[in-house]
């Protein structure tokens, strides 16, 4: 893959502009090694925190901040995300190196942090034909995708200093009840199928399989691939929902986004993931590959898949 494949930012979206004067003054005080004219662009975002590219002379940094108007709580806790990356980077090189955290909301209206830019290829949904990998390349990328998820779940989170990141006991139960409550709080119309799915999940809730560091949003567009060898994962992005919990629930979230070419056309049109491209495994093959490489047993994985699509549906409802 060549230069045109590298993920590029775009102009900052209206309403999401940064106070450049305040930011430039802050950078001069706290990161004086970055000298030069400040220019700002923005990366595409979905349900995530906002991500900007700062060009300072010939250098580049990435800035992360919460969405404008968001309450600074779990999913938008910049300090938590910065501390996680700071602990993870020395022991697992597949995360960007965090550089600086600003907890003062007076600078940009909310806390933010800065990290190195990991330049590479990001496979987003609705790729134009000229940017779609060949089937054999896609197959190998999918293998690396699974390998990276397995690698993450095998990390010694205690040795990384992340033993207090979450509350793994009772994780499965809390997730089912929590996402059900979010649906009920956000619903605007009666959706009997979703309510039936919530009840089914509660009735079929399995015992917890293990405790691992889990990402909670592991999909193609959160991976940075090496432009010279796209089967090599350079970095995993967007750690705001990471915690300690059941790794099979993390697999379930991935399955919820894993739309395939065999799915109905209406579902393929909604896909946020290029998992429909030739060369990708089916959901069953994805589960089998994960089980084989991790040594974990998700069974038929139906519970985890239903959890994943229920979670995605609730996010869309919100």
Q: Which tokens belong to 207?
A: 């015992």
Residues in the chain: 318
Q: Which residues pair with 102 in a beta bridge?
A: 112
Spell out the per-residue pLDDT of the chain, length 318, in tens: 555 577 889 999 999 999 999 999 999 999 998 888 999 999 986 557 899 999 998 899 999 999 987 664 555 799 999 999 999 999 999 999 999 999 999 999 999 999 999 999 999 887 888 889 999 999 999 999 999 999 999 999 999 999 999 899 999 999 999 999 998 888 888 888 999 999 999 999 999 999 999 999 999 999 999 999 999 999 999 999 999 999 999 999 999 999 999 999 988 888 888 999 999 999 999 999 999 999 999 998 999 999 999 999 898 877
Domains of the chain: 3-116 (3.30.200.20), 129-317 (3.90.1200.10)
pTM score of the predicted model: 0.93
Q: How far is CA 49 from CA 70, 111, 118, 225, in A?
A: 10, 12, 17, 21
């Amino acid at each position: 893959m060549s230069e045109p494949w590298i993920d590029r930012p775009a102009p900052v979206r209206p309403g999401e502009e940064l106070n450049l004067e305040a930011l430039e003054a802050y950078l001069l005080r706290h990161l004086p090694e970055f000298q030069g004219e400040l220019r700002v662009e923005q990366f595409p975002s979905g349900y995530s925190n906002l991500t900007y590219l700062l060009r300072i002379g010939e250098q580049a940094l990435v800035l992360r901040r919460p969405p404008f108007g968001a309450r600074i709580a779990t999913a938008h806790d910049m300090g938590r995300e910065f501390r996680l990356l700071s602990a993870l980077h020395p022991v697992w090189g597949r995360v960007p190196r965090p550089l600086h955290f600003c907890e003062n909301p007076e600078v940009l209206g909310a806390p933010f942090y800065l990290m190195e830019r990991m330049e590479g290829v990001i496979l987003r949904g609705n790729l134009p034909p000229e940017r779609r990998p060949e089937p054999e390349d896609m197959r190998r990328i999918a293998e690396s995708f699974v390998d990276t998820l397995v690698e993450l779940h095998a990390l010694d989170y205690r040795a990384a200093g992340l033993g207090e990141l979450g509350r793994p006991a009772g994780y499965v139960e809390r997730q089912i009840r929590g996402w059900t409550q979010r649906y009920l709080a956000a619903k605007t119309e009666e959706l009997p199928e979703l309510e039936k799915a919530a009840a089914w999940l509660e009735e079929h809730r399995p015992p917890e399989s293990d405790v691992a560091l889990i990402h909670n949003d592991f999909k193609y567009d959160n991976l940075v691939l090496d432009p010279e060898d796209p089967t090599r994962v350079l970095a995993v992005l967007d750690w705001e929902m990471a915690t300690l919990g059941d790794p099979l629930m993390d697999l379930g979230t991935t399955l919820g986004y894993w739309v395939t070419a065999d799915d109905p056309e209406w579902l393929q049109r909604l896909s946020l993931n290029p998992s429909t491209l030739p060369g990708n495994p089916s959901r069953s093959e994805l589960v089998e590959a994960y089980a084989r490489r991790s040594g974990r047993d998700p069974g038929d994985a139906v519970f985890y898949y239903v959890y994943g699509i229920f979670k995605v549906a609730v996010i869309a409802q919100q």
